[in-house]
Amino acid sequence: MTATAQVAPDPQGTSTPRRLDSLTGLRFYAALLVFLFHTAIFVNPVDLTGPGINPFADPDIAQWYGRIFSNGGFVGVSFFFVLSGFVLSWSAKPSSSTLAFIRRRVVKIFPTHVVTWGLVMLLFAAGVTNWKSWLSNLLLVHAWFPDFQISQSVNTPSWSLCSELLFYLSLPLIIRPIRRMSVPGLWLSAGAMFLGLIAFQLIAMAFLSTRNSGITPVGDVQFWWGYLFPVGRMFEFVFGALLAQIVLAGKWFRIHPIAAVGFMVFGYVATYFVPPQFSFNVTTLIPIGVMLATFADADRRGAPTGLRGRVAVWLGNVSFGFYMCQTVSVFYLLYATGGGTFDVPVAILVLLGLFAASLFGGWCLYRFVETPMMRRWGRARNTPKPQLTPEKV
């Protein structure tokens, strides 16, 4: 997850390709939603029998905080998946080989994954995780298993990287057909992705077991199918890839960025009024797509967005590490310090401390792991240094 992307030339004939700095800025807020979700839960994945994560002693405030952000993780992750499709479609070069593309993507995510995996194993997971779980997690195939002991093992946020790997392997197969589509074909295909996602969730609701362990809002197998299973997340990835081509063709609607953010807020609120299975990604797919396409179109035209400043870009740079380190910076930190609940002022200070620890961890991963690895292995030798593609998570 880096700051800028080298993009295809503007189809309207501008002389200089534009960078998607605004999408980089947006990425941090998606990661922040995941952080707020993690700090709002009432259990601690490190120790389910100990104190929870939610720091508020007042039960009404704790319930309020937990309720507001209970769907934040779902929305943040869905944003990352649509963003991956959008940015990779936007920046894909016909001259780039499949192997070179996959190498860059693997170098981008695996070093950070391995470092956080090793840290979590060292701190607490090695003694409580069987070899099938830790090995599948290390190889980033654990989300393919419906068993929570595997899919949610070791560094919990890493499950989303299983979907990202599937996206990377799939892009070379889908990008050529997408590029050959007419604009009406792109719109129809994007609609098909939305309908396909609805159908995928309806399968879970109609045919999969509703047996619930108490830690998911639906049946455990339904949750795996609708949220963790990488195949189901392909709809979001392809949806984003299709929207990118629409924007590149200059056929996106002229929408003010503030209006797009307002639509996104509306979509988030709507997740609380639909069946839980639809709150994972169906309800917010279109609002996320509208927001990404609107900000990307503004970047293409050079219109102001308020998200291309140095601070916004820096936050976007560290957002991948910020996301990946939260098992340590939130779950383990509270476990190691005894956790507990506090009066409102102290609870707010605790949240700020957890945020600072996560941000510092994210910066360390970006500065000392992701950046040097991308410089060393992310490009072919004896070739000009390219701009890096932003991507999530």
Assess contact for 240 and 176: CB atoms under 8 A.
no
Instruction: Mark 275-306 as b/e (b = at least 16 C-beta within 10 Å).
Output: ebbbbbbbbbbbbbbbbbbbbbbbbbeeeebe
- Which residues are paired to 56 by β-bridges? 342
pLDDT attached to residue 100: 87
Q: What is the mean pLDDT of residues 104-132?
A: 96
- Are 166 and 234 in contact by the 8 Å Cβ rule? The answer is yes
Q: What is the pLDDT of residues 225-262, one digit of tens each?
A: 999 999 999 999 999 999 999 999 999 999 999 999 99
| Tens-digit pLDDT profile for residues 164-218 | 999 999 999 999 999 999 999 999 999 999 999 999 999 999 999 999 988 889 9
Closest residue by Cα to residue 55 from 357, 331, 362: 331
- Above 50 in pLDDT, residue 274? yes
For the cut 70, the answer to whether the pLDDT of residue 9 exceeds it is: no
At 168 the pLDDT is 96
Question: Does the pLDDT of residue 8 top 60, yes or no?
Answer: no
Look at residue 1 in the predicted model and tell me its pLDDT.
41
| pTM of the predicted model over 0.85 | yes
pLDDT band at 380 (very low <50, low <70, confident <90, very high): low
CA separation for the pair 132, 142 (Å, rounded): 9
Angle in degrees, CA 360, 363, 368, rounded to 5: 125
Q: Give the pLDDT band (50/70/90) at residue 393.
A: very low
Residues 283-315 have pLDDT tens digits of 999 999 999 999 999 999 999 999 999 999 999
**Residue % of the chain over a pLDDT of 90:** 85
